[in-house]
Structure 1
């Protein structure tokens, strides 16, 4: 499975990516802004994580893609779509290594995978969660077309502090309507 956008390639992770994943996810600022990346990032954990991504992809329960810059072939981040088959929905999650922040890579990758989720996987709903303090990720969700659905106050405990978590989502009918409006505006 392979996708291409204007500036990016999205492909499954490979064992050779472990060193770069380890380096990028070991950044405290990255871990601070995410719900699930540990800090310090355990040595050798990237190898285990990449293996688990491959196994989940084979089962169709999760699709994790390395975000690769076309020009330099650098791995800059990850985009994952976790599938709940029994509910026909997918959870979107992503991270971008700190040296590559503020370039729109997460938005560009998210739009591509949202299209794939609705058009190819025929999912009915896509959703994502974010710590309310992570304004950059909130902007990615908005620019990717996800709509604000609500906030759970003090929903997670991160590094000894309770954090509010905001939820964004989109159902297929909304996606189709937005896509039709965008196409009509381009005519």
Structure 2
């Protein structure tokens, strides 16, 4: 079964296709984007986007992971990605990134609302959690706007080897 397309006011969520790899590499390969995430590599080398996109169908089929491309409705441009990962029964981790040119417009919040609605109604997921780096308060705002509450604070190694609170 293919992933359903999810439509919101300003964005569309659809499955990634191989042709998206160039845009993924360009957007996620921006160090300013990668530095605020826990799982976007930097540098983002050739072939990484294709490899990442190729894993999505299996995650969907086995109900272990849902990953969507975030598409700007007005232009059809790919602007980021949003996923539910580590799905176990009724629990999942929300993970996302948005390309820097699209920051501050509420697109990620809108995408998260719709993905959470779909996962709740179609997959029975009830408990959503996420981690954000303290140096990225905008990501924390997305979580808060989606009804998430702070559970705890952890320290993890940052890209430069220093300790980074999240």
CA distance in 1 between counterparts of 2:107 and 2:44 reads 23
What is residue 12 of structure 2 aligned with on the other side? 9
Q: Which structure carries more relative contact order (alpha carbon 8 Å, separation 6+)?
A: 2
Instruction: Choose from 62, 65, 71 the match for 1:62.
Output: 65
Structure with greater proportional strand content: 1
Runs of at least 5 residues in structure 2 that lack an aligned partner in the other structure? none
SS at match of 1:79: strand
The 8 Å contact of residues 63 and 87 in structure 2, kept in 1 or not, is answered as no
C-alpha spacing 1:54/1:159, structure 2 compared with 1 (3 Å): farther
Deviation beyond 3 Å, 4+ runs, structure 1: none
Find the aligned partners of 1:34 and 1:73 in 2 and give their Cα distance: 24
Q: Which TM-score applies when normalising by structure 1?
A: 0.83
- Pairing 1:123–2:103 present: no
Tell me if the contact between 1:60 and 1:83 (Cα under 8 Å) persists in the aligned partners: no
Tell me the TM-score normalised to structure 2 length: 0.93
Which SS does the other structure have where 2:85 is aligned?
strand
Mapping for residues 23-172 of structure 1, pairs under 5 Å: 23-85=26-88, 87-152=89-154, 154-165=155-166
CA contact (8 A) 1:90 1:123 kept: yes
Of stretches 113-122 and 102-111 in structure 1, the one that deviates more from structure 2 is 113-122
Higher helix share: 1
**Cα deviation code 1:48-107 (max 9, x no counterpart):** 00001122112211110000011100000000011433x421110000001111111100
- What secondary structure is seen at the aligned counterpart in 2 of 1:138? helix
**Are residues 56 and 7 of structure 1, via their aligned partners in 2, closer, same or farther at CA, if it must alter by over 3 Å?**
same
Task: Quote the RMSD (CA, aligned, Å).
Answer: 1.2
Q: Secondary structure at the match of 1:131?
A: coil
